[in-house]
A and B are shown apart, each in its own frame.
Chain A
Amino acid sequence: MLDHFTAPTRRDLLRVIGKVGGGAALYQTMTVLGHAAESHFTGPPQLTGARPGASVLVIGAGLAGMLAAYELTKAGYKVQILELQGRAGGRNMTLRGGDTVNELGSVQKVGFAPGNYLNPGPWRIPYHHRTVLHYCKELGVALEPFMQSNHNAFIHRKTAFGGKPQRYRDLTIDFKGHVSELLGKALNAGALDAAVTPEDKARLLEAMRSWGVLDKNMTYGKSEKVGEQRGWERPPGGGVNGAPIPNDPFGLSETLDSKIWDQLGFFAEHAMQTSMFQAKGGMDRIGKAFQARVGKTIRFNTRITKIAQDEKGVTASWTDAITGAAGETKADWMVCTIPASILGQIDVQIADTKKAALKALPYGNSVKIGLEMKRRFWETEDAIYGGSSFTDQAIGLVSYPGHGCFSDGPAVLLGAYPFGVGAYVLAGMTPERRIQAALDQGAVFHPAHYKAEFSNGASLAWSRMPWILGCCATWTEESRAAHYQNLVSMDGRIVLAGEHCSYYGCWQEGALLSSLDAITRLHQRALAG
């Protein structure tokens, strides 16, 4: 019997299980095989056999909407997309020199040099976001590594080390060393004898000595062994002065001041682990690749004013945002990807439970600021190649471009990326004041060069984007329990999709998974009805 498991390929096997047991069995099997634990994605949907002439109206040309249009067209539906903006991609976007940022209350012209860019929305793709990765491959979008972490970048907290940034490497190694020493002391004092067996106690002591780089007395401190992790006062060299000189670790208390565990915990998260990727040349390559497939079906500058449905079909009423002309578009079915922050303000014929879900779904805010510097001083002066330096100031972080390392000429830093209070503070400023704040705060990491090498900057505050009025949906355990199923359920001839209709909020993966789930259910309903 086991022989049968070696004969078919894994894919063959999964196809058989999927046919016999349905999607749930398939997913369960893939999880057992260690295949799908990271994402629900089991391959593109095999939607076939749409009823002749059946039509779907897709509202919104973001990733969720364009994926829906792409797959439904393949399945045989007549598809039309209505999009409010004059561009496709939604939050998948990239700012380059010559672009215009139209916020509520301000207009910016982006002045970056050719080749430089800022991804104001999504900017990184975890290795297990299989849906995004699949469609990048299918649509020919080139990906490259995204430098997710950098041991040589900085951590800054206003109340730690007198406000002086320290290297992530030094803090993580000192934290590990001090904690190891303390656990060793507790073990040796017998404080944990009730909790561990003698054998485990011996192994833990060995682990602490080795992992924490403790000396023979089980203490953590300056030594060549520690230097091999922490770096050197004088690094190993050649010739007469080749012997390295280790440097002084920080004490326990000042190490704790840095709260370095915040970053350690952050990078330990599944969605933040390496490998990480980005679209080569800018994240909008993904939106543009979808647009290349479904662009002919998009009607741009189309503002939805009302959505109605009856037993025969759906009707979207709209006005043209340029000409002011009013119109209607009808279809058999609808996939609506309008963000909840907007959809909740539109007259939509959906169940009261769905309306209640929209009203209970606030949007978080975020701001990204791109700062073009005349040269890569963080590389030449500080040996920082990609990754991020973190701060508890409003900007949240400074992130260094991982692409184009060692190149001459100007480069664009991500000079701010906060959620929460920092995002509100920066979003409420004029674009000019945002840049000044980003320079003032980011200079803490590179005081000699940050302002001197600054060339120009651009920012995007998501609360000021007129087509979404926020960054992404904020669910809580309580609101999920009360409203999530009501939001994603098919309502007559209408189904909603987008990151707000997923458990992968704020990620492109969530938008795409939501879309695939929505169109699969829509297709089943269309064939049944």
Chain B
Amino acid sequence: MLSGTLSLAVALAQASPGFAQDRPSNGESAVEVSAEGREIYEQICQSCHMADAKGCGVPGAMFPALADNPRLADKDYGSIILLKGRGGMPWFAGMLTRPQIAAVLNYVRGHFNKYQDTVTVADLDRITTANPPVPDCNCGH
């Protein structure tokens, strides 16, 4: 369910990630990102955090585990990072809609963890308005 305006945002935010950098071409991708949390995870997140959400790499050069991650107990933690990026991880505000961001966060927090409260689009709007700093994370753990 990728609207025309969203896919344009994808092109602006991600397909041309740098000034005049090497890339395949201009224009928007027709790849449709799912509305469903599990599928969004498989399409986007597991490219780095791996299919089991256990992360990978070694200390000093790793993608953190999302599974069994106590930092995700705070439902704003993942929301802020998805909206604003952190370190090597890009922001996904341009690639995913707010309903998609909420859906995938709820999947990660509910399926790979046991947090039952729900992230809503209203939560994401609240964070955007409040504009909190990106939290430091213990990304090696």
Contact = CB atoms under 8 A, between A and B. Distances in A.
A419 B26 contact: no
Contacts of A423: 47
Contact of B47 (A390, A419, A427): A427
Interface stretch (A185-193, A248-256, A265-273, A291-299): A265-273
B67 interface: no
Contacts of A266: 25-27
A463 interface: yes
B24 A390 contact: yes
A523 B19 CA distance: 29
Given A263-B25, A364-B18, A396-B24, A424 B60 contact: no
A101 to B, nearest CB: 15
Interface stretch (B51-59, B72-80, B108-116, B124-132): B51-59
Contacts of A265: 26
Interface stretch (A108-116, A355-363, A513-521): A355-363
Given A104-B56, A420-B14, A469-B57, A345 B46 contact: no
A466 B58 contact: yes
A157 interface: yes
Contact of B29 (A365, A421, A467): A421
A463 B140 CA distance: 17
Interface stretch (A207-215, A447-455, A471-479): A471-479
B71 interface: no
Given A340-B88, A362-B85, A470-B88, A421 B26 contact: no
Contact of B27 (A362, A392, A461): A392
A461 B42 CA distance: 15
B18 A475 contact: yes
B62 interface: yes
B24 A259 contact: no
Interface in B12-44: 13-31, 33, 42-44
Contacts of A425: 31, 43-44, 47
Given A362-B87, A419-B14, A506-B21, A345 B62 contact: yes
Contacts of B10: 420-421
A504 interface: yes
A418 interface: yes
A362 B88 contact: yes
B26 A262 contact: yes
B18 A341 contact: no
Nearest to B95: A421
A504 B30 CA distance: 28
Interface residues of A, number: 69
A473 B23 CA distance: 13
A424 B47 contact: yes
A59 interface: no
A505 interface: yes
A388 B62 CA distance: 35
Interface in B101-139: 134, 139
Interface in A335-385: 340-342, 344-346, 358-366
Nearest to A157: B30
B24 A158 contact: no
A123 B43 CA distance: 27
B1 interface: no
Contacts of A470: 88
B88 A420 contact: no
A158 B43 contact: no
Contacts of A269: 20
Nearest to B136: A359
B134 A359 contact: yes
A463 B46 CA distance: 10
B90 A363 contact: yes
A360 B87 CA distance: 6
A342 B24 contact: no
A237 to B, nearest CB: 35
Contacts of B28: 392
A303 interface: yes
A469 B48 contact: yes
Contact of B140 (A123, A345, A358): A345
Interface string A408-426: 0000000001111111111
A158 B18 contact: no
Contacts of B20: 269-271, 504
A49 interface: no
A422 B86 CA distance: 21
Contacts of B43: 421, 424-425, 428
A341 B19 contact: no
28 contacts: A104-B50, A104-B63, A158-B30, A342-B61, A344-B88, A345-B87, A359-B87, A359-B134, A360-B85, A361-B88, A362-B85, A362-B86, A362-B88, A366-B23, A392-B28, A394-B31, A396-B25, A419-B23, A420-B13, A420-B14, A421-B14, A421-B95, A425-B43, A425-B47, A427-B47, A463-B48, A464-B47, A467-B61
- 7 A-B pairs closest in CB distance: A341-B88, A262-B27, A420-B14, A506-B21, A427-B47, A362-B90, A392-B30
Given A104-B63, A425-B44, A474-B90, 10 more contacts: A303-B60, A390-B25, A418-B29, A421-B10, A421-B95, A425-B31, A428-B43, A469-B63, A503-B19, A504-B21
Interface of A: 104-105, 122-124, 157-159, 259, 262-263, 265-266, 269-271, 303-305, 340-342, 344-346, 358-366, 388, 390, 392-394, 396-397, 417-428, 461, 463-464, 466-467, 469-470, 472-475, 503-507
Interface of B: 10-11, 13-31, 33, 42-48, 50-51, 56-63, 85-91, 95, 134, 139-140
